[in-house]
Amino acid sequence: MEENVFERMAQKYDNPERIALAKIISDRIRPELKEAEEKTLLDYGSGTGLVGLALTDLVKQSTLVDSSENMVKIIQEKIDTQNIHHVTAKVVDLTKETLTEKVDIIIVSLVLLHIPDTKKILTQLYHSLNEGGQLILIDFDKNEHVSHPKVHNGFLASNLSELLAQVGFSNSKIENFHHGKNVFMKQDADLFIAISNK
Q: What does the domain layout of the chain look like in residue ranges? A: 5-197
Q: Write down the pLDDT at residue 1.
A: 36
pLDDT at 24 (0 to 100): 96
What is d(CA 53, CA 46) in angstroms, rounded to the nearest whole number?
9
Residues 136, 193 contacting (CB under 8 angstroms): yes
Q: Which of these, 19, 191, 2, 164, lies nearest to 110 by C-alpha position?
A: 191
pLDDT at residue 148, rounded to an integer: 56
What residue ranges of the chain have pLDDT lower than 50?
1-2, 146
Q: Which residues are CB-neighbours of 101 under 8 A, at least 6 positions away?
A: none
**Residue 2 confidence (pLDDT):** 46
132-151 per-position pLDDT tens digit: 999 999 988 765 654 555 55
| 198 vs 190: CA distance, rounded Å | 26
85 DSSP assignment: S
Which helix (H) or strand (E) segment holds residue 88: the answer is: strand 87-91
Among the four given CATH numbers 1.10.357.10, 3.40.50.150, 3.90.470.20, 3.40.1160.10, the one describing domain 5-197: 3.40.50.150
| This model's pTM is above 0.85 | yes
